[in-house]
Amino acid sequence: MKVAKFGGSSVASAEKFQQVAKIIGADPKRKIIVVSAPGKRFNEDTKMTDLLIQLTGAVVSGRTYEKEMKLVLNRYEEIASQLSLKHTLIEQIESSLNGLIQEYQHDSLRLADALKASGEDNNAKLMAAYLNALGKEAHYVSPKDAGILVTDQPGMARVLPESYALLEKLRERSGILVVPGFFGYSKQGNIVTFPRGGSDITGSIVAAGVQAELYENFTDVDSIYCVNPTIVPNPKEIKDLTYREMRELAYSGFSVFHDEALQPVVKAGIAVCVKNTNNPAARGTYIVSERNYNDMPVVGIASDKGFCNIHVSKYLMNREVGFGRKLLEILEDEHISYEHTPSGIDNISVIMRENQWTKEVEERVIARIQAELEVDDITVERDLALVMVVGEGMNSTVGVAAKATNAFARAGVNIEMINQGSSEVSMMFGVKSASHDKAVRALYEVYFNEIFSISYSNLH
């Protein structure tokens, strides 16, 4: 049994619905389908979720919301009519939206959650109706019926562990089950949406619950690329990726889906396949527990800008028990989260996202560090980028680090920091933000463009 999740762009129009139905029909193992709300059909288009947020805004402001409601219904209407589905479906959607508005009109957070969730919910109903119209046995299954129980804070749902046993029973149902993504039901009976990566989370929870053999995540790219395509045009595709490698790559934000969403399948050890709705023949990228990394110790280059480095030095620091812990405690106290803490004998660097380090925070935290830890010196370096070489084979392959540092030396990129721990899947380099693109391209050349890469035998 496979669970297939279709993202917003994959269910944005009638043509996409047809494409999805074809994909479902091509593999009888695709038993459970998780759908997003209709996404953008073209660059300037508005997503259904945003139309629903506009509708919520109109309702909450107390003004008439006829126009906003019409925009929402039009999107469904267009899909339904092009697929020759009954118009009564749209009437049902309208009446259910009005019902939600009546129910939650005095609680704007709940209203927002319920209306946003309706985007996925109604799209799932349309998809089930369309599959039925094609003569397939298909059933819309609401998250309540499926057993997706979540915590009760609006917009911040977390799945409750008892959901998995309930979801397991979906295995016994007949036909194709169409489940809306993005939300669950709390024990208090409320519709509650997931915080980020909404439909991805639903797909992952359902796949874990039914112990699927594969969780297919359909989106609009053929695969995950080994480097950000906006920096390196037409980069190589990644065939296989481990969960750990995926996490490291997702760090830089170029992942096609939200890494946190995968936790349930990672725990259950279920493989994930990222595939293209528009080109289902392409193999896609598989995300798995283990891969054979002999041929490909490095799988990708991740990177991100917007970091700063707080560098603290104190003579004899390494003889002072608890210094590091005390420093981290001050940061925690100030609600600052950090990324890495490379250290020397008498100094430690704390690398963090720069947006947390305002002038005000800087003054207060530096004063605290000076007063409480009596350090000799504190310096702050801004405008840093982190560039990571990611791969399971990194650590057991002689020369992987040499490749990277040579690439930087040849490109004239100065390395500000290096951080690599034993049995890690990544090696991190800190560079100035101005060198970011140059650094990423240099690493891409050396790891993925063999013509330019150096052979170590030449170094003798």
Interaction residues for its own copies, span 380-399 (CB under 8 A): 381, 384, 395-399
Residue 260 C-beta: closest distance to its own copies, Å: 6
CA distance 160 to 165: 11
Contact between 409 and its own copies per CB under 8 A? yes
Residue 348 C-beta: closest distance to its own copies, Å: 7
Q: Within 13 Å and on the Cβ side, how many CA atoms surround 333? A: 10
Residue 75 C-beta: closest distance to its own copies, Å: 34
Question: Which of 185, 194, 408, 447 contacts its own copies by CB under 8 A?
Answer: 408
> Would the CA dihedral through 14, 20, 22, 28 be positive or negative?
negative
Residue 266 C-beta: closest distance to its own copies, Å: 6
Residue 369 C-beta: closest distance to its own copies, Å: 15
CA distance 3 to 208: 9
Residue 7 annotated as lining a ligand binding site: yes
Residue 337 C-beta: closest distance to its own copies, Å: 6
Stretch of residues binding its own copies (CB under 8 A), selected from 16-24, 233-241, 243-251, 269-277: 243-251
Contact between 57 and its own copies per CB under 8 A? no
Residue 234 C-beta: closest distance to its own copies, Å: 25
> Would the CA dihedral through 143, 179, 71, 258 be positive or negative?
positive
Q: Of 186 and 318, which CB lies nearer to its own copies in the complex structure?
A: 318
Q: Of 103 and 416, which CB lies nearer to its own copies in the complex structure?
A: 416
DSSP β-bridge partners for residue 46: none
Residue 51 C-beta: closest distance to its own copies, Å: 31
Question: Which of 218, 243, 357, 448 contacts its own copies by CB under 8 A?
Answer: 243
Question: Which of 373, 406, 437, 445 contacts its own copies by CB under 8 A?
Answer: 406
Q: Of 62 and 322, which CB lies nearer to its own copies in the complex structure?
A: 322
Q: Coil, helix or strand for 384?
A: strand
CA distance 243 to 265: 10
Residue 202 annotated as lining a ligand binding site: no
Question: Which of 418, 434, 449, 453 contacts its own copies by CB under 8 A?
Answer: 418
CB 360 within 8 A of CB 407: no
Q: What distance, in Å, lies between the first and last C-alpha atoms of the chain? A: 54
Between the alpha carbon of residue 49 and those of residues 68, 204, 232, 441, the distances in Å are 12, 21, 32, 36
Q: Of 64 and 396, which CB lies nearer to its own copies in the complex structure?
A: 396
Contact between 266 and its own copies per CB under 8 A? yes
| C-beta contacts of 347-350 below 8 A and 24+ residues apart | 347/311, 347/312, 347/313, 347/314, 347/317, 348/311, 348/312, 348/317, 348/323, 348/324, 349/309, 349/310, 349/311, 349/312, 349/417, 350/309, 350/310, 350/312
Residue 413 C-beta: closest distance to its own copies, Å: 7
Stretch of residues binding its own copies (CB under 8 A), selected from 66-74, 86-94, 128-136, 421-429: 421-429
Binders of its own copies in range 191-230 (CB under 8 A):
none
CB 243 within 8 A of CB 288: yes
DSSP β-bridge partners for residue 143: none
Residue 412 C-beta: closest distance to its own copies, Å: 6
- Burial (CB count within 10 angstroms: exposed 0-12, middle 13-18, buried 19+), residue 20: buried
Stretch of residues binding its own copies (CB under 8 A), selected from 131-139, 152-160, 172-180, 401-409: 401-409
Residue 31 annotated as lining a ligand binding site: no
H helix intervals, 347-399: 359-373
Contact between 423 and its own copies per CB under 8 A? yes
| Residue closest to 10 by CA, chosen among 44, 27, 33 | 33
Binders of its own copies in range 61-100 (CB under 8 A):
none
Place of tokens 């589905």: 85
Helix H or strand E segment including 276: strand 271-276
Residue 199 neighbours by CB distance under 10 Å = 27
Question: Which of 120, 248, 304, 392 contacts its own copies by CB under 8 A?
Answer: 248
Q: Of 233 and 412, which CB lies nearer to its own copies in the complex structure?
A: 412
By CB under 8 A, the count of residues binding its own copies is: 75
- Going by C-beta distance under 8 Å and a sequence separation of 6 or more, which residues neighbour residue 150? 157, 158, 159, 160, 163, 183, 184, 185, 186, 192, 194
Binders of its own copies in range 305-344 (CB under 8 A):
309, 311, 313, 315-316, 318-319, 321-322, 324-325, 328-329, 332, 335, 337-344
Q: Known binding site: residues?
A: 5-8, 49, 120, 219-220, 225
Q: Known binding site for substrate: residues?
A: 49, 120
Q: Known binding site for ATP: residues?
A: 5-8, 219-220, 225
